[in-house]
Amino acid sequence: MTTFRPRNAPAGDRATRPAKRPRGAFRGLTVPGRGQDAGSVGVVTLKGVCGIVGYVGHRQALDVVLGGLHRMEYRGYDSAGVAVLTGDALTVERRAGRLANLEAAVDTAGREAFAGTAGMGHTRWATHGPPVDRNSHPHRDGTGRVAVVHNGIIENFAALRAELEASGVELSSDTDTETTAHLIARAYAEGDTAGDLPASVRAVCRRLEGAFTLVVTHADQPDHVVAARRSSPLVVGVGEGETFVASDVAAFIEHTRQAVELGQDQLVVITRDGYEVTDFAGEPADAKPFSVDWDLSAAEKGGHEYFMLKEIEEQPDALANTLRGHFSSGRVVLDEQRMSDQDLRDVDKVFVVACGSAYHSGLVAKYAIEHWCRLPVEVELASEFRYRDPVLDRDTLVVAVSQSGETADTLEAVRHAREQKARVLAVCNTNGAQIPRESDAVLYTHAGPEIGVASTKAFLAQVAANYLVGLALAQARGTKYPDEVAREFGELEAMSSAVAKTLGTLEQVRALGKRMADSKAVLFLGRHVGFPVALEGALKLKELAYMHAEGFAAGELKHGPIALIEDDLPVVVVMPSPKGRAVLHSKLVSNISEIQARGARTIVIAEEGDDRVRPFADELVEVPAVPTLLQPLVSTVPLQVLAAEIARSRGYDVDKPRNLAKSVTVE
C-alpha cells in the first residue's frame, strides 16, 4: 500500500413485393441517430479490455469500488487496483492476478487505511506490459498525487513517453496509461489549466490518439472524480448523495438503476451531488439518461457454483425476453430503426459479421434468412471482413452481432461497412454500447447480463434475434405473407419452453461430462443447421476445458478428417430431425456407422423418439422435437453443459477461462 501525503499544489477547474428504388435515387447518408459518434466512424481503434469504476458519495469508497470490481472482473482479471482519496492524501493498492490478491493486500494493509468516500478501481486485461504489480492500475505521476485508471490503448503513447522522458520524467511501468498520469499532473501544475483537474484532463485527452476511458483522481481534489471517454465504454450511475462512473452498469446496479450514457469525446465530473458533462473543449454536452432494467440478482450467481451454469439455466427467459414486444399489430418490429422499410426492401445481399459464438449465431441464421427472404447471406468473421475488400454498397445489409457491443473486430467491420455506404443493423445485448451506437438499426437481445466469459444465453438470444431480422426482411420484402411471419414468430416464441425442457437433460450430460474429462480430444459433427452447432460445441470445449476440439460438417468427414478417428475418440453428433430432414438424417446415420466402425465413441444429440439413430449411439441425449430451422436453440444446450462439466471435472474456473476476457476490445 502506498499513501501519498499532501503537497503544495496550485489551487483549483423493421403482401406484395414492393418495387425496388432505382440505385441513384437513394437519399444521402444523413441517417438520424448517428449522432455524436459519427466522428468516430473510420477511426481505427485498438482497445484494451478492462473494468473501471469511480465513486464519490457517502459510503466507504473502498467497499463500493471493490464491490464494483467484483462484478466487472469478467472484463479482465490479470491484475486489479484501487485508489481512495483519504482526506488530502491518495491511498493506492494494486496487485497482479485475480481481485482476491488485491483484497488480501488491502486486508494486510488494514482497511482503515483506505477510509474515504471518493475513489476508483480497475481490473485489467493486459495489453501493454506483462501482468505484474508495476503495470497494474492505478498509475500515478512522480509525486503520487495524481492517479489514473484506463481502459483502452493510447496509440501515440510512444511519442508521449519520449516527450516525458526528454523532460526528465521517469516512468515506472511498461504501460501506455502511465504517460497520462504524468501529463495530467503537469497540466494541473502549470499554464491555464493549473489547479483545474477537469481542464487538465480535457487538455490531455485532446492530445491522445486511440481509444480510452480514463478515470482520474487528484489528492488535492478529494470531492470529485473526473472521467473521460473515446470509443471505450463509460456510464455514470446517479444515486442519492452518491455518483458512480464505470465501464458497465453492473458495477453500481446494487446502489442505483439510474444511469447516464456518455457520448464520444466527453468528460464527466462526478461529485456527491451529481455530475457535469462537457466535451473535450470544455463546452457543456448532452449525455443520455436511461434506466437499467435488470437488477443485481440477475448479475449474481443465484446459488450456482458458476455464473455460466446459472446463465445456461436462464436461457428460456433469455429467449422469451429477446422476443417480447417484437411482434405488434401483426408485424415484426425492431428496437431502433433508422432505416426505412424501403431500405429493407432494397437490400439485395446480407452479410453477418461477428466473432466467436456470435459468428456461429450468424452461421445458423444464414439458413433461415436465405430460405425466408431469398437473399444471399454471407457470414463472415469480423476480423477478416474489412481486410479482404468485401463488395458492399448501399443495398447491402450488414448484420453486426455482438453480445458486448464492444468487440473491436466487429466494431471496425461496422465502420468499414458504413464507409462503403452499406446499412448496418446491430444485434447486441448491451444497451447503448458502441456497435449499436454506430449502426443504422438495432435489435437488442435481452439475455440480461452475461458474466461467464463463455457465451451461452447470449448465443441463444443472438440466434433468436437473427431469426427476427430474417422475419423483418421477409416481411418488408414480401417474401412471406403476414400470416406466415406470424406463424414463424409463434414457433420462435414456443422455443422458450422447448429450451426449458431441454434443460431436463442437464444431469445426464453432467454425468457424461465427468466420464469424458480425461479425453484428449473431442470431435463434433453436424449437417445443415447442426453444422454451426457442432462448431459452437467445439469452441465451448476448447475455451473452457482447454481440450483439443474440432467441429466438422459431417459430409466433409470422408474428405480428410475421418483419418482422425481412433479407438475411443469421443465424437459428438448433432442429428437433424428424422421427419424434418429425412434425407440428411439418413446420411448422418451412415456417417455415424462409419466412425463407429473405426472405434469412435459416439455421443448423439437427437430428437426424442429418433429410434433409427439409437443403435449407433454409445450415449444418446434426447432433445425436444422442434421445427428444423430452430433446432440449434435446443441442440446447443447439452453441448454447453458438456463443456462446462468437463472443465469443472478438470478443475478449471468455468467462468474465467485462462487467457480470455468477456469483451475483446483489442483487434
Contact flag: residue 213 with ligand F6R (CB under 6 A): no
Query: Closest residue to ligand F6R, Cβ-based?
Result: 356
Cell numbers describing residue 466: 437473427
Q: Quick one: 471 or 639, whose CB is closer to ligand F6R?
A: 639
DSSP strand E in 280-361: where? 288-291, 327-328, 331-332, 336-337, 349-354
CA–CA separation, 589 and 433 (whole Å): 44
Closest CA to 72 of 224, 254, 218: 254
Q: Which helix (H) or strand (E) holds 596?
A: helix 582-597
CA–CA separation, 149 and 189 (whole Å): 20
CA–CA separation, 496 and 15 (whole Å): 29
Contact flag: residue 357 with ligand F6R (CB under 6 A): yes
Contact flag: residue 364 with ligand F6R (CB under 6 A): no
Q: Quick one: 256 or 455, whose CB is closer to ligand F6R?
A: 455
Q: Quick one: 317 or 543, whose CB is closer to ligand F6R?
A: 543
Query: What is the smallest separation between the CB atom of 191 and ligand F6R, expressed in angstroms?
Result: 41
Q: 254 phi and psi, to 5 degrees?
A: -65, -30
Query: What is the smallest separation between the CB atom of 429 and ligand F6R, expressed in angstroms?
Result: 7
DSSP 23-86: GGG---S--TT-GGGGGGTT--------EEEEEESSS-HHHHHHHHHHHHGGG--SEEEEEEEE
CA–CA separation, 204 and 218 (whole Å): 15
List 30's β-bridge partners, or say none.
none
Q: Quick one: 232 or 402, whose CB is closer to ligand F6R?
A: 402
Q: Give me the 372-411 binding string for ligand F6R, x by CB under 6 A, dash otherwise.
A: ------------------------------xxx--x--x-
Query: What is the smallest separation between the CB atom of 299 and ligand F6R, expressed in angstroms?
Result: 16
Q: Which helix (H) or strand (E) holds 443?
A: strand 441-444
Contact flag: residue 83 with ligand F6R (CB under 6 A): no
3-state secondary structure of 294: coil
Contact flag: residue 355 with ligand F6R (CB under 6 A): yes
Q: Quick one: 180 or 663, whose CB is closer to ligand F6R?
A: 663
CA–CA separation, 186 and 259 (whole Å): 32
Only segment of 98-106, 233-241, 356-364, 368-376 that touches ligand F6R (CB under 6 A): 356-364
Only segment of 201-209, 316-324, 350-358, 558-566 that touches ligand F6R (CB under 6 A): 350-358
Catalytic residue among 47, 457, 542, 662: 662
Q: Give me the 531-560 binding string for ligand F6R, x by CB under 6 A, dash otherwise.
A: --------x---x-----------------
Q: Quick one: 79 or 663, whose CB is closer to ligand F6R?
A: 663
Query: What is the smallest separation between the CB atom of 514 and ligand F6R, expressed in angstroms?
Result: 21
Query: What is the smallest separation between the CB atom of 661 and ligand F6R, expressed in angstroms?
Result: 9
Contact flag: residue 173 with ligand F6R (CB under 6 A): no
CA–CA separation, 69 and 82 (whole Å): 9
Only segment of 144-152, 229-237, 299-307, 349-357 that touches ligand F6R (CB under 6 A): 349-357
Query: What is the smallest separation between the CB atom of 430 and ligand F6R, expressed in angstroms?
Result: 8
In the numeric block, the cell 441517417 is attached to 31
Query: What is the smallest separation between the CB atom of 663 and ligand F6R, expressed in angstroms?
Result: 6
Query: What is the smallest separation between the CB atom of 403 and ligand F6R, expressed in angstroms?
Result: 3
Catalytic residue among 47, 50, 428, 480: 50
Prior bond to 632 cis, omega within 30? no
DSSP 171-201: P-SS-SHHHHHHHHHHHHHSGGGTT-HHHHH
Closest CA to 540 of 458, 618, 468: 458
3-state secondary structure of 245: strand
Q: Quick one: 243 or 403, whose CB is closer to ligand F6R?
A: 403
Q: Quick one: 102 or 433, whose CB is closer to ligand F6R?
A: 433
Query: What is the smallest separation between the CB atom of 488 and ligand F6R, expressed in angstroms?
Result: 24
User: Which of 120, 204, 249, 358 forms a contact with ligand F6R (CB under 6 A)?
Assistant: 358
Contact flag: residue 356 with ligand F6R (CB under 6 A): yes
Q: Which helix (H) or strand (E) holds 393?
A: none
Q: Give me the 427-466 binding string for ligand F6R, x by CB under 6 A, dash otherwise.
A: ---------------------------xx-----------
Q: Quick one: 264 or 402, whose CB is closer to ligand F6R?
A: 402
CB 55 within 8 A of CB 108: no
CB 271 within 8 A of CB 223: yes
Q: Quick one: 488 or 543, whose CB is closer to ligand F6R?
A: 543
The CA-atom distances, in angstroms, between 146 and each of 137, 162, 179, 221, 256 are 12, 20, 12, 10, 28
In the numeric block, the cell 447471406 is attached to 377
Closest CA to 84 of 156, 149, 152, 141: 149
Closest CA to 407 of 61, 72, 47: 47
Contact flag: residue 664 with ligand F6R (CB under 6 A): yes
If binding means CB under 6 A, how many residues of this protein chain bind ligand F6R?
15
Query: What is the smallest separation between the CB atom of 435 and ligand F6R, expressed in angstroms?
Result: 8
Q: Is 197 exposed, middle or buried (0-12, 13-18, 19+ CB in 10 A)?
A: buried
Query: What is the smallest separation between the CB atom of 173 and ligand F6R, expressed in angstroms?
Result: 28
Check if 366 is active-site.
no
Check if 662 is active-site.
yes
Q: Quick one: 78 or 610, whose CB is closer to ligand F6R?
A: 78
Catalytic residues: 50, 662
The site for ligand F6R (CB under 6 A) is made up of 355-358, 402-404, 407, 410, 454-455, 539, 543, 663-664
